[in-house]
A and B are shown apart, each in its own frame.
Chain A
């Protein structure tokens, strides 16, 4: 087991030179480094903090302790979704949860974090570059940063993200190290033929379900695939099986040039049809539609605005996105089109982690593999997975409409 080596600066932080808040954060980083057998810490350039989502009294006690001890982040730190929508507070039915969520979000802003409140920080400016060491929490953000951007972050538990931001350090372990980033299992996707927007969450869910601790290498992903599709793939893989990094040959920056000697699993249409049956409830009845998990990009919102023009939507339709994206939509008149069509735009949070949807709704349609995975357990609904156009067609018809 390697001994953890700290620099003089890190020892000083641990010893209280920069105050008790920094010392507390450094105790957490050092404790985690020892558990991970890290030989040293690594300096990080940014953090994405998930600890602002309320999980009970301990969430507030920890944030307030850091504030009381005078801690401040020393690297740029974005904030993940919280438990309430600060711009549309009436959307959250549980007022106690909303109040606690708001207090927690405020405490993290007081620590110097940027009030982005989005699970898709990679859709904001100033994103990390290839090879940069970062400490990002939120499973879909982690897998996107590692895979698509080639930045380096391990999977971190709540509390560690903000401690990394306060100390500017993370344990040099796991996916921070080059040796842990090599692909180890090939998924041959060439038999899938033409990809649709639903191929990506289904493929992601399949990979997450079977890959275990291996690092997946995808063969046959279209070379012109967009970031929104890679987001959907990564989010589904991360929620189904804790995937924190994937490589796609011809697409992602660290994909291997040779796959000789690696085990190969073939993915065909039948596989994805089975995944769809597992993830998606068969129903005709439908109560609502929810899209934007992870938060919809500007381009996805524009595409939705084009689809909703026409006959009115009969069912409640929710779109979760970042407050920054919403602002841009408002400036360009897209928000007005969405709202006029009856779309409820949710920011700062998401419909599957807080009390927004009516508790009487049983069947909810989504285009997100991640939402379909978590919502049944979190908010007690049956999820129906469909493409964006199927979601709009179903909301318009008032019942489930699938293309095939």
Chain B
């Protein structure tokens, strides 16, 4: 299967999907280890590191771009992020990590409902295959 989305930050990644059931703010919502720590989030405790993160949009704080860039640097970030709505804060974190460390975390806007749990998903810029 293949989906063509809109690339907000280029890159390639492979991993298994994790679909968030509620919006997440990286600042205050995740720790440096890539774990969800927002006590109000239904998936609190889940680890996002290395996963293909599927979520509607980012939420809240503008510091989310810093927190994501720091996770990319520390290799604790998701492998790729697929959003259903464009959000400038998340690709900003990815762009800064690319500028500073030459590490590219792909960020895509796509309708991701068809992606099955447990599939091995590949993201190449705006193209998602499994």
Contacts and interface: CB of A to CB of B under 8 A. Distances in A.
Interface of A: 24, 27-28, 31-32, 35-36, 50-51, 53, 55-59, 61-62, 65, 137-139, 155-160, 239, 242, 374, 377-378
Contact of A56 (B59, B70, B88, B101): B70
B46 interface: no
Contacts of A156: 62, 88
Contact of B65 (A24, A159, A377): A159
Task: List the 10 closest A-B pairs by CB distance, nearest first.
Answer: A157-B65, A56-B70, A55-B66, A157-B89, A158-B66, A157-B92, A58-B70, A58-B69, A157-B62, A158-B65
Contacts of A157: 62-66, 88-89, 92-93
B88 A36 contact: yes
B70 A55 contact: yes
5 contacts: A58-B100, A65-B100, A155-B62, A239-B60, A377-B28
B61 interface: yes
A176 B93 CA distance: 22
Contact of A35 (B8, B64, B93, B99): B8
Contacts, number: 91
Given A28-B92, A61-B100, A61-B101, 10 more contacts: A36-B88, A50-B62, A57-B70, A58-B66, A157-B89, A157-B92, A158-B62, A159-B65, A159-B66, A377-B28
B95 interface: yes
B97 interface: yes
Nearest to A59: B66
A61 B73 contact: yes
Given A32-B88, A58-B69, A377 B38 contact: yes
B61 A139 contact: yes
B70 A158 contact: no
A158 to B, nearest CB: 4
Interface of B: 8, 27-28, 32, 38-39, 59-67, 69-70, 72-74, 86, 88-89, 91-93, 95-97, 99-101
Contact of A31 (B62, B64, B67, B95): B95
Given A35-B86, A62-B96, A242 B60 contact: yes
B32 A56 contact: yes
B47 to A, nearest CB: 18
A142 to B, nearest CB: 9
A59 B32 CA distance: 14
A31 B8 CA distance: 9
Contacts of B39: 377
Given A58-B97, A139-B62, A159 B73 contact: no
B96 A28 contact: yes
